[in-house]
Amino acid sequence: MGFPEGFLWGGATAANQCEGGYDEAGRGLANVDVMPHGPERLRVAAGLRKMLSFESGFHYPAKVAIDMYHRYRHDIALFGEMGFKTYRLSIAWTRIFPNGDEEEPNEEGLAFYEKLFVECHRHGIEPLVTITHFDCPIHLIRKYGGWRSRQLIDFYKRLVSVLFERYRGLVRYWLTFNEINMILQLPFMGAGLVFDESENKLEAEARSIHNELVASAWATRIAHEVDSKNLVGCMIAAGSYYPYSCHPEDVRAAQVESQANYFFTDVQARGSYPAFAVKRLERDGIDVGMTDEDHQILAENTADFVSFSYYASRCAAGPDSDAMRIPGDFFGEVRNPYLKRSEWGWAIDPLGLRITLNDLYDRYQKPLFIVENGLGAKDRIEADGSILDDYRIDYLRQHIQAMRDAIDQDGVDLMGYTTWAPIDLISASTGEMSKRYGFIYVDRDDDGEGTLARSRKKSFEWYKRVIATNGEDLS
Ligand code: BGP
C-alpha cells in the first residue's frame, strides 16, 4: 500500500522563470523574455498586444529571474538536501539555437545544461527535461510567424536531435511541450503567435497546434532511435471539468470543454485526431495541413507516459445557466461555489486531483506523471527570519493524500510527483515574485529588488520528511 518503490518525488521549474542570464554565453532572445511584469503581461501572452523586443517603461522579470543560471549548483544542492529523486527543468531553446534556425548549435549553451545535469546526478537526482516550456525564439516569430509555419517542425527536430545525442546517458525522461493546450488561452506564450487583424485566428491556432503535435511525435521517435531507454511524455494543463449542475446543458458544456483539452493528449497518447476534433475542423472549414506522413508519424510515435499540471478543477455551465461567471479567469469562467480559492482566485480542490487522475487513466491507460502542483501564496518573514508556510503544507498534504488514494484505491499507475515550484520564481501568468510556490524562499520582489539570497521555509523540512518516508509521513 502507499507509493510504489522508486516513485519519483521532486520539484519543477522552467528556464525562463528561474534562470535569468538572458543574454549570456550567446543566448538569443525568446518570446518569454519580452513578457513584462504587470497587467500588460497577459495581453502579450494572449497575442493581443505585439511585443517582440524590450520596450521602455516595463520591468522584464525573466532577464534576471532568480539568477539560477549562476546559482544552480547551490539550488540543486538544496534539492538534494530535500532528497529529490527527480528535478523537472526546461531547456531554453535560445541557449542551444539562439535564433532557432541555425545549422549548428551553440556549444556554450549545451555545455551549461551538461554541467547542470551532471550536478543533478551528483546529488542522486534524475533530470526530467521539458524541451520547450512556453519559449520560442524571437527570430522564428519574426521570420516565420512562430508555430503557424511548418518549418518550425524541422527546427524543433534539429533541436531535439542535438539534445538527445548530447545528453544521452544523462537524461532519460523528456517532455516535449509544456502545457500544450495552453495555446488556446495564451497563443503567444504557447506558440509565438501574434495575430493580424485580417487573419483567421482559429485557423492559425489549429495549424500551430497541428505543427506542435507533429513535432512532438517526431521528438518521440528520435528519442527512441537515439536511445531506447528514453521515455517521452506529453504534458497538458489538466483539471477535470465539472458540470455546474446536473442540468443536461451544463453536463454538455463540461463535456465540450473537456474534449477541447483532451484533444491534445488524445493525439499524443493515442496517435490520431479524435472524431469530435475532425468534425469541428470540418464545421469551421479549417485545413490544418495534415500530410500522409503526419498521419503515420502521429500514429507510430505515441507518448510513453502522460504528464500534467494540476492546480484546480474547472467548472462549466450551459448558456442559460445562472452560474456566476468570472471574465478572464485562467481556469474556466464559472465559479464553483463549493470550493475555496487561493489569494489569486485559483480554486483549491484536492479531491479534484483524484478525479483528474482517474479520468486521465481511464482514457489513456498509460502511466501518469504529475509534473506540477502547488499553491501560489504570499509569504511573511518572521522576526527571526523564519517563514511558517503552513498553508502551503496543508495544500500539498491534501493533494498528496488524494494521489495516494488514486494509487491505492483506484489502481492508477502514477510514476511521480514534482511540485511547482520547489524554489520561489517568476509567475508565468503575472510575472510576479510575490506569488510564491517554493520550499526555498528567494529574496527578490516584484520590481526586481532584493539580494536573491535563498532560505529554507518550514515546508522545506516537511517535504524532506515526505520524501524520506516515501509519502508515509504527511504530518
Ligand atoms: C503553469 C506553468 C508554469 C507555472 C504554473 C503556475 O501554467 O506551466 O510555468 O508558472 O502554471 O502558474 P503561475 O506562475 O502563473 O502562478
Number of compact structural domains in the chain: 1
> Does 303 fall in a domain?
yes
What is the residue with the minimal CA distance to atom 3 of ligand 1? Answer: 428
Task: Give the span between the Cα atoms of 132 and 143, in whole angstroms.
Answer: 19
Confidence band, pLDDT 50/70/90 cuts, at residue 326: confident
Q: Which of 304, 475, 369, 396 is nearest to 8 (CA)?
A: 369
Residue closest by Cα to atom 10 of ligand 1: 428
pLDDT in tens, 161-179: 999 999 999 999 999 999 9
Smallest CA separation from ligand 1 atom 2, residue: 428
Considering the chain, what is the average pLDDT of its residues? 96
Does this model's pTM top 0.95? Answer: yes
Decide if 314 contacts 241 (C-beta within 8 A): yes
| Average pLDDT rounded to a whole number, residues 117-146 | 98
Q: Is residue 474 part of a domain?
A: no
Residue 30: pLDDT over 80 = yes
> Which residue of the set 372, 432, 449, 461 is catalytic?
372
Identify whether 372 is a catalytic site residue: yes
Degrees to nearest 5, angle at CA 102 with 98 and 103? 140
Is residue 3 in some structural domain?
no
Q: Which domain holds residue 129?
A: 8-468
Q: How far is residue 153 CA from its own chain's centroid?
A: 20
Is pLDDT of 467 > 80?
yes
Task: Give residue 234 CA to ligand 1 midpoint distance, Å.
Answer: 17
Write the residue with the smallest CA distance to atom 16 of ligand 1. Answer: 427
Closest C-alpha to 154, from 218, 205, 104, 90? 218
Query: Residues enclosing ligand 1, CB less than 6 A?
Result: 14, 17, 178-179, 237, 309, 372, 376, 420, 427-429, 435
pLDDT mean over 448-453 = 98
Q: How far apart are CA 345 and CA 282, in angstroms?
A: 37
Q: Please report the atom of ligand 1 found closest to the CA of residue 427.
A: 14
Mean pLDDT of 273-288: 97
Query: How far does residue 437's CA lie from ligand 1's centre (Å)?
Result: 10
Instruction: Measure 87 CA to ligand 1 centroid, in angstroms.
Output: 16
The percentage of residues in the chain with a pLDDT greater than 90, rounded to a whole number, is: 93
Pairing of strands 340-341, 347-348: antiparallel
CB 111 within 8 A of CB 40: no
The pick from 17, 31, 309, 432 for probing ligand 1's pocket by mutation, whose C-beta has the most ligand atoms within 8 angstroms, reads 309
Average pLDDT (17-42) is: 96
433 within some domain: yes
- Indicate which residue's Cα is closest to atom 12 of ligand 1: 428
- Ligand 1 test: best mutation among 371, 420, 442, most atoms within 8 Å of CB? 420
Check residue 333 and give its pLDDT: 79
Minimum CA distance residue for ligand 1 atom 14: 427
Q: What is the pLDDT of residues 298-318, one digit of tens each?
A: 999 999 999 999 999 999 999
Q: Is residue 473 situated within a structural domain? A: no
Per-residue pLDDT tens for 44-90? 998 888 999 999 999 999 999 999 999 999 999 999 999 999 999 99
2 Rama class: left (phi>0) / alpha (psi -120 to 50) / beta: left
pLDDT of residue 330: 61
pLDDT confidence band for 322 (50 / 70 / 90): confident
- Identify the pLDDT of residue 328: 61
Q: Residue 119 is part of a domain; what is its CATH number?
A: 3.20.20.80
**Residue 40 pLDDT class (50, 70, 90 cuts):** very high
Q: Give yes or no for residue 470 having a pLDDT over 80.
A: yes
| Cβ 131 vs Cβ 152: under 8 Å | no
Q: Look up cell 508556510; give the residue.
A: 389
Q: What is the pLDDT of residue 48?
A: 86
Task: Classify residue 312: in a domain, yes or no.
Answer: yes
Could you tell me the CA-to-CA distances from 384 to 40, 342, 439, 453, 454 in Å, in that order?
Answer: 37, 27, 17, 16, 15
429 C-alpha to center of ligand 1: Å? Answer: 6
Best residue for ligand 1 mutational test, from 314, 419, 427, 435 (most atoms within 8 Å of Cβ): 427
Residue 258 within any structural domain of the chain:
yes
For residue 475, being part of any structural domain is answered with no
